[in-house]
Amino acid sequence: MSARAGIVVTGTEVLTGIISDRNGPWLSERLRELGVDTAHIGIVGDRPGDMEAQLRFLASQGMALIVTSGGLGPTADDLTAEVVGRFQGREMVLDEALEERIWAILQPLRRRWPELDEDAIRASNRKQAVIPEGATILEPVGTAPGLVVPPASGQGPTVVVLPGPPRELQPLWRTAQATDAFQHAVRDRTVYREGVLRLFGIPESEIAATLRVAEDEGVPLDQLEVTTCLRRGEIEVSTRYEPPAQDAYERFVDVIRARHGNTLFSDDGSTIDEQVAGLLKGRTVATAESCTAGLLAARLTERPGSSAYVLGGVVVYSNEAKVEQAGVDPALIERHGAVSPEVAEALATGAATRFGADLGIGVTGIAGPDGGTPEKPVGTVCFSVAGREGPLLTRTTQLPGNRSDVRDRSVTVALHLLRRVLLGRTDGVPGQRELTQGSSLSLPHRN
């Protein structure tokens, strides 16, 4: 079994949700890359008893390594170093050389605010230089040093103590890995491989059924750690395994491909965003969005260099904006309604024309929470991908969830329709569930 690790994220502001934890997942991913199995991530407030209880729990579970984040600042509630020192059976001592190095780091602060109480600053500075005896110091990026603290008894986990701000934690993590104590703690690490499959148009329950089929067909799933999740309207199947299980993974992928080939759009981990960017190959695109509030354009421009193929976009909620900004014929809106495939087509064509793009994408719908009708309930969204000469692919669907869900899934649907156009797949009618994630509404199409 691989070396196992636990992560303790400290801070009442994280525990109460004032700040969202980014360090736990980041550290877990870095541990996986090293071949260390992250068994637990815990979040505790700035209470010494709770911190120590979490450390003792992780030690009782056989962790070789514990990584903490936060609680290394100059204020009285920053107690992580002291708690870890007590947990590891080490006396707290003042490192005078470290104190002077931190004091030098504080010089710009003191020059900027000369009226600050230097005695108070010095006291806070000194607190950060009190460390467990025998700990390896990780030189600070901000003012807080990190620490690698092995147990004084020689038995139990080594604890890596890191500051909370990600800009400080991440470089200190890299420094920690080079220490002898860290390397000794993870000496039993393994190698992990990870495969990611992405599917669009089926619910997670289908993957659950496929796992049963794979097992029935003799695929040794006990050698694989398979995780499925719904992300941005797509199903992501992530599998972690060790090298001897490569054959088992390939057999598992074969089962997925055989059962879900029409909805499996990525078997190499590539995202729809990456695929669309690659398929554009010099072609340009523009957007005209109603219910998605510009989120499609934002998603298209997330990648570096996207300005080379995303020429622009407009957000057009009102009918007047649709007419003035995207060139939609007002008679079309009057005849079919603002949420209609005809208006989606006009938006797409208008976006392509206005920005001189090869392709335009139009999205119009009812994201909610009100405004729907029995004929067009909340979640009804119309999409079109068009060139300047007219529509290439148009679909209407009904998406579940609240306003945020409908918007997010609408962007994903639009990207998949764009992918279909770029692949030249505009003649077939995609299955109902390919676009709706299980919605019951039929999918009229206009090619």
Statement: residue 222 has pLDDT above 90: yes
> Which phi-psi region, left, alpha or beta, contains residue 371 (left: φ > 0; alpha: ψ -120 to 50)?
left
Determine the structural domain holding residue 118 and report its residue range.
4-185
- What's the pLDDT tens digit per position in 327-338? 999 999 999 999
Q: Do 221 and 73 belong to one domain?
A: no
Q: Identify the CA nearest to 332 among candidates 318, 346, 320.
A: 346
Question: Under 8 Å CB-to-CB from 57, ≥6 apart: which residues?
Answer: 40, 42
The whole-number pLDDT of residue 317 equals 95
Tell me the CB-side half-sphere exposure of residue 228, using CA atoms within 13 A: 17
Per-residue model confidence (pLDDT) at position 427: 60
Residues 121 and 217 in one domain: no
**pLDDT surpassing 80 at residue 109:** no
- Looking at the predicted structure, is the pLDDT value of residue 90 above 70? yes
- 359 and 429 in a single domain? The answer is yes
Residue 14's pLDDT band (boundaries 50, 70, 90)? very high
Buried/exposed 410-426: b ≥16 CB within 10 Å, e otherwise? bbbbbbbbbbbbbeeeb
- pLDDT at 446 > cutoff 50: no
Distance CA 402, CA 415 (A): 20
Percentage with pLDDT > 70 across the chain: 94
Same domain (yes/no): 116, 232: no
pLDDT of residue 353: 96
CA distance 136 to 145: 10
CB 341 within 8 A of CB 444: yes
- Residue 216 maps to which CATH number? 3.30.70.2860
Question: Do 254 and 301 sit in the same domain of this protein?
Answer: no
Contacts of 191 (CB under 8 A, 6+ apart): 35, 242, 243
Cis peptide bond N-terminal to 171, omega within 30: no
- Quote the number of domains for the chain: 3
Three-class SS of the chain: CCCEEEEEEECHHHHCCCCCCCHHHHHHHHHHHHCCEEEEEEEECCCHHHHHHHHHHHHHCCCCEEEEECCCCCCCCCCHHHHHHHHCCCCEEECHHHHHHHHHHCHHHHHHCCCCCHHHHHHHHHHHCEEECCCEEECCCCCCCEEEECCCCCCCCEEEEECCCHHHHHHHHHHHHCCHHHHHHCCCCCCCEEEEEEECCCCHHHHHHHHHHHHHCCCCHHHCEEEEEEECCEEEEEEEECHHHHHHHHHHHHHHHHHHCCCEEECCCCCHHHHHHHHHCCCCEEEEECCCCCHHHHHHCCCCCHHHCEEEEEECCCHHHHHHHHCCCHHHHHHHCCCCHHHHHHHHHHHHHHHCCCEEEEEEECCCCCCCCCCCCCCEEEEEEEECCEEEEEEEEECCCCHHHHHHHHHHHHHHHHHHHHCCCCCCCCCHHHHHCCCCCCCCEEC
- Adjacent-strand bridge partners of 285: 310, 359
What are the structure tokens assigned to 40, written together? 């637990």
pLDDT at 366 over 90: yes
pLDDT tens digits, residue range 380-400? Answer: 999 999 998 999 999 999 999
pTM: 0.83
Q: Which of 11, 43, 46 is nearest to 25 (CA)?
A: 43
| 76 against 132, higher pLDDT | 132
- What is the average per-residue pLDDT within 200-225? 94
Shared domain for 248 and 303, answered yes or no, is no
The last residue of a domain, from among 225, 245, 266:
266
Give tens-digit pLDDT for 411-443: 999 999 999 999 998 764 443 333 433 332 233
Last residue of a domain, one of 266, 283, 316: 266
Q: Do the beta carbons of residue 337 and residue 343 sit within 8 Å?
A: yes
CATH number at residue 10: 3.40.980.10
Which among 185, 215, 242 is the end of a domain? 185
Let me know whether 213 and 260 are in one domain: yes
Using alpha carbons only, how large is the chain's radius of gyration in Å? Answer: 28
Mean pLDDT lowest for which of 58-72, 233-247, 301-315?
Answer: 301-315
Question: Tokens representing 9?
Answer: 């994220």
CATH number at residue 432: 3.90.950.20
Position 312 pLDDT exceeds 80: yes
Q: Which two tokens stand for residue 362?
A: 């139009």
Average pLDDT over residues 359-374: 90
Q: Are residues 56 and 124 in the same domain?
A: yes
Q: Do residues 371 and 240 share a domain?
A: no
Q: Are 381 and 396 in contact (CB under 8 A)?
A: yes
**Mean pLDDT score, 70-89:** 93
Residue 59 sits in the same domain as residue 206: no
280 and 262: one domain?
no
| pLDDT tens for each residue of 39-54 | 999 999 999 999 999 9
pLDDT, residue 435, reads 40
Say whether both 48 and 155 belong to one domain. yes
**Across all residues in the chain, what is the average pLDDT?**
91
